[in-house]
Amino acid sequence: MRTQNHIMIDQELSKRLDVLKLIFMVMVVFIHSTALPELPFELQVPRFLEFGKNIIRNDVCGIAVPGFFFISGLLLYSKDFKWTENMKKKARSILLPYFLINSFWIIFFKLMQSIEITASYFGGENYQIVGIQGIIKAYCAPIPLYYPFWFLRDLLILNILANVIKRIVDMLPVLSMIMLVVLCFDIVKVPFLVSNSSLYMFVLGYYTIKYWSKVEILKRANVWYTGLIFSGLTMVRFCFGGQLPILMMFYSLSGILFYYLLSGYLKNKKVLWCSQFTFFIYAFHEFYEAMIKKMIMLMFPQYGIVQTLEYFLIPVVVLGGCIAVGAMLKRKRYRLYCLLCGSR
């Protein structure tokens, strides 16, 4: 159902987007799994594992974050909104979780550093919060203490600019698209504190809504042919890396379309039930993943096969744990869960 400049998100589309967000969140957890914790010894990572990690992080899962910005733009512009009402909603869904969860990690690290038995595990530079300046930095730096929340920071700025973006695209749709292509090349940087890729994927979400009647034909695309195109672009991206910046837009759009089509086969009850905890996974997975990884690496000799198993199994454990804790918290402390997840 479509009106002048927006569409109604029906139940089918809503379910597919929920599955899509869960797929992208699984990718994000694997992206973060590539990072290595601070260890008291030098870790020799096998060349085959380092190679595989780079492919998974940059090429296979590189679609995840652009995909989230695209979905955010699409969902925002799919309905009529007033700037003030939208900002009130975003204060609840973005600012409140941003403040609460960064506060949680500040308190957690301070507590762990004050206990003798755990202090050595949390003595690294990433965990240090010194004085008032350190606390302010933990909230207000471009990369906050809980660093995955840079996404929320960029998203809030894009929502502040949402009406301006819409007006410019409506007035100058062709010129705006040319500017998006320029942004892909990183020739110029946007002057309002968000990354180029954040901006152009968010705006492409609005273009999708604006020209929905033309985009709908893509819903009939064959998932496997689309997958082949996406795989081909992924291989080209791997071969050329950052040498073809414009490739990122086509790679991202083909990947979003492929996983959107694939979501139609995955939207069963179990997957949809898990998808309700996507934000909870996002809000809590990273530091727990790092802590589990550090403990295991200190406990077991780091042979190549051990590191490979750690890389693939720890994200699965973290995903399952976040879903289990999220489900329990939602059932037992529903109001707290809603506060942490921005009423999602």
Q: What is the pLDDT of residue 296?
A: 92
Q: Residues 7, 209: contact at Cβ < 8 Å?
A: yes
Q: Residues 111, 127: contact at Cβ < 8 Å?
A: no
Q: What is the pLDDT of residue 2?
A: 44
User: Among residues 147, 206, 212, 148, which one has the least CA distance to residue 176?
Assistant: 206
Contacts of 118 (CB under 8 A, 6+ apart): 112
> Helix, strand, or coil here: 73?
helix
Contacts of 323 (CB under 8 A, 6+ apart): 274, 277, 280, 281
* Distance in angstroms (rounded) separating the CA atoms of residues 45 and 98: 34
For the whole model, what pTM was predicted? 0.90
| Cα separation values, 86 from 93, 95, 100, 102, 161, Å | 10, 13, 20, 23, 11
Q: What is the pLDDT of residue 273?
A: 96
Q: Residues 124, 38: contact at Cβ < 8 Å?
A: yes
Q: What is the pLDDT of residue 3?
A: 42
Q: What is the pLDDT of residue 5?
A: 52
The mean pLDDT values, 10 residues at a time, for the chain of 344 residues are 55 90 96 84 89 90 94 92 94 94 88 78 68 82 88 94 94 90 75 80 92 74 90 87 72 92 90 95 91 90 93 95 96 93 86
> 291-308 as b/e, with b when 16 or more CB fall inside 10 Å?
ebbbebbeeeebeeeebe
* Distance in angstroms (rounded) separating the CA atoms of residues 139 and 137: 5
Q: What is the pLDDT of residue 240?
A: 78
Q: What's the N-to-C CA distance of the chain in angstroms?
A: 24
Q: What is the pLDDT of residue 241?
A: 67
